[in-house]
Amino acid sequence: MYDLLRSLMFKLPAETSHDLALDMIGAAGRLRLADKLVRPVPAQPVEVMGLTFDNPVGLAAGLDKNAIAVDGLAAMGFGFVEVGTVTPRPQPGNPKPRLFRLAEHEAIINRFGFNNLGVDAMLDRLAATRYRGVLGVNIGKNAVTPVENAVDDYLYCMRKVYSCASYITVNLSSPNTPGLRTLQYGDALKQLLAQIKTCQLELSDQQGRYVPIAIKIAPDMTPEEVQLVAGTLLEQGMDAVIATNTTLDRTAVADSPFADESGGLSGAPLTDVSTEVVRLLAGELKGRMPIIGVGGIFSGADAADKMAAGASLVQLYSGFIYRGPVLVRECAEAIATMPGRG
């Protein structure tokens, strides 16, 4: 059924079909129909960051930026759902077209630019959801905010979403907000994370509840850079790292008519690249911080590879668009049958 629906949706412009699909999933969730359309994924509880996840397969941020379809997406079998990226104020993002399907490569290029309705609108949506599982909220900075003041936007969003988030992801790795990726390195990263940690502890004291902070990083780093980032995350007391965001590298899709479009590339070309970053992080972190693996998961075997490389959880995005809810079940089952699990 999903294959037929996808073939129809793929005849539409990429962003039109994206918005329409999300509206349909949202409606199915509100009408309590979504769970009747998908075979349930067996429970496979796992504890990470002090939270209990129904299963280790989650939805990555970026699909539901405004939290309009949380109930419907959760009914697809995900063990957790991450919404956003959300910014303090609404912003339209980059001019259209800004989303491109590279179907022959099972890939997507996007340059959305954190288009969203703002954090207050997201909070209104979240207040209306029935979902009570693990919810991640991915936060970013507004495009008009200078990079040197980015921490102000992150702290603003943290304070806003802290009470409703199970964990908060700080997105430092989108390639579509100018200068953002510079925050992943050196003193800029240390100073930013120090202020985020201080805010987290203050909010924890005020609200009597500790909400973990995850940092999402890019795949376009040298092994030495990954090593340095891992050390900084540990030093600053972060709770998890998400590896990885989209890539700027076009080597794997050089023959595509969209290869020269600017933006981040996701999907199958990212599979091995992101898994290698997970492996490098695991070697540096040595179990002291959990890793959430994301990037190019199109099969149960891909998910199991991320886990074997050192991930504690995985997330889907492009693979979910191309393969639908069946992929969630495949990944959960593949992980459940790995040696030493179950």
Catalytic residues: 174
The response to whether 142 counts as a known ligand-binding position is: no
The response to whether 66 counts as a known ligand-binding position is: no
The response to whether 271 counts as a known ligand-binding position is: no
The response to whether 96 counts as a known ligand-binding position is: no
Q: Which amino acid is at 9?
A: M
Q: Which amino acid is at 67?
A: A
Q: At which residue do the structure tokens 């886990």 appear? A: 307
The response to whether 317 counts as a known ligand-binding position is: yes
Secondary-structure breakdown of the chain: helix, strand, coil percentages, each rounded to the nearest 5: 45, 15, 40
Taking Cα atoms as reference points, which of 179, 268, 184 lies closest to residue 222?
Answer: 184
The response to whether 283 counts as a known ligand-binding position is: no
Report DSSP state, residue 298. -
Whether residue 6 contacts residue 20, with contact meaning beta carbons closer than 8 Å, is answered with no
The response to whether 216 counts as a known ligand-binding position is: yes
* Angle CA 131–137–139, to nearest 5: 160
The response to whether 247 counts as a known ligand-binding position is: no
| Tally of CA atoms within 13 A in the half-sphere of 31 that contains its CB | 10
The response to whether 160 counts as a known ligand-binding position is: no
Whether residue 272 contacts residue 256, with contact meaning beta carbons closer than 8 Å, is answered with no
Whether residue 162 contacts residue 211, with contact meaning beta carbons closer than 8 Å, is answered with yes
The response to whether 171 counts as a known ligand-binding position is: yes
99 three-class SS: strand
Taking Cα atoms as reference points, which of 338, 328, 333, 331 lies closest to residue 302?
Answer: 331
The response to whether 251 counts as a known ligand-binding position is: no
The response to whether 64 counts as a known ligand-binding position is: yes
The response to whether 11 counts as a known ligand-binding position is: no
What distance, in Å, lies between the first and last C-alpha atoms of the chain? 31
The response to whether 341 counts as a known ligand-binding position is: no
Annotated binding site for FMN: 61-65, 85, 138, 171, 216, 244, 267, 296, 317-318
Annotated binding site for substrate: 65, 110-114, 171, 176, 245-246
Annotated binding site: 61-65, 85, 110-114, 138, 171, 176, 216, 244-246, 267, 296, 317-318
